[in-house]
Amino acid sequence: MLRMLIMGPAGSGKGTMSERICADYRIPHISTGDMFREELKLNTELGQQAQSYMSQGLLVPDEVTIAMVKSRISRDDCANGYLLDGFPRSLPQAMAISDLDIDAVINLKIDEQLLVDRIVERRICRNCGAIYNRISLPSKVEGVCDQCGGELYQRSDDSYEKLRVRLDSYHNETQAAVDYFRDRGLVYDIDAGQAKEDVYRDIQAALAEVKGEEK
């Protein structure tokens, strides 16, 4: 059984690594964004509570988010473990799940300038969704998708200004949650500035250690 968290700033590769971990270790990927959308779609009591805040432009309180997470991981598909992505985002949220017997926290660390280059220079095909980077993975023709010839565009939240807001939020709030788990010996720091295969190799090594500790 692997009950895991994956943490790291925006653009560190949490989504990409989560997909590989969940496929290889056969555990569900629980993204808080997907979880919120599902609760709203199903019109559950928790979903209604969340909607009452969101419709007013307010942040969903911790107690509602925490209740959603605990409800989700109580399902049968989480019986053999799970990977939480995007939660916790703050120290109070981390403390609220101290009873979940988390096995490991994968902490993706990356140089901030590299992160800026990854996000701000990212371009996406408006037609097929292919992803490019003007520095590390440029298209053959500027602004044109190699695969389908579609227009490449920059997402509105990929600007430097918006990334700075997300990074500041991470450092000011989420870092305290990482430190909380570090004090409990659960954090495995991974250099997310490497090539993807190298990042995943290091994650596998960390999880092999975790599983060895469980035996």
pLDDT tens digits for 111-143? 999 999 989 999 999 999 999 999 989 999 999
pLDDT band at 77 (very low <50, low <70, confident <90, very high): very high
Q: Distance (Å, rounded) from C-alpha 134 to C-alpha 136?
A: 6
Q: Tell me the C-alpha distance between 59 and 209, whole Å.
A: 38
Degrees to nearest 5, angle at CA 26 with 22 and 28: 60
Domain that holds residue 101: 2-27+80-111+167-214
Which member of 3, 118, 122, 123 is catalytic? 122
How many structural domains comprise the chain? 1
The verdict on whether 14 is a catalytic residue reads yes
Say which of 14, 72, 118, 123 is annotated catalytic.
14
pTM: 0.83
Query: Is 122 annotated as catalytic?
Result: yes
Residue 126 is among the residues annotated as catalytic for this protein: no
pLDDT band at 215 (very low <50, low <70, confident <90, very high): very low
As a whole number, mean pLDDT of residues 7-27 equals 93
Q: What average pLDDT score do residues 76-81 get?
A: 94
Is 166 one of the annotated active-site residues of the chain? Answer: yes
Catalytic residue among 20, 70, 109, 166: 166
| Of 59 and 98, more confident | 98
Order of strands, sheet of 29-31, starting from the edge strand that comes earlier in the sequence: 29-31, 81-85, 2-7, 104-109, 187-191
Q: Is the pLDDT of residue 42 over 90?
A: no
What pLDDT is attached to residue 169?
86
Output the domain CATH number for residue 172: 3.40.50.300
> How many Å apart are CA 198 and CA 191, to the nearest integer?
9
In the chain, what percentage of residues exceed pLDDT 70? 97
Whether 94 maps to a domain, the answer reads yes
Domain assignment present for residue 156? The answer is no
Which residue among the candidates 155, 164, 196, 201 is catalytic per the annotation?
155
Region 145-172 average pLDDT: 91
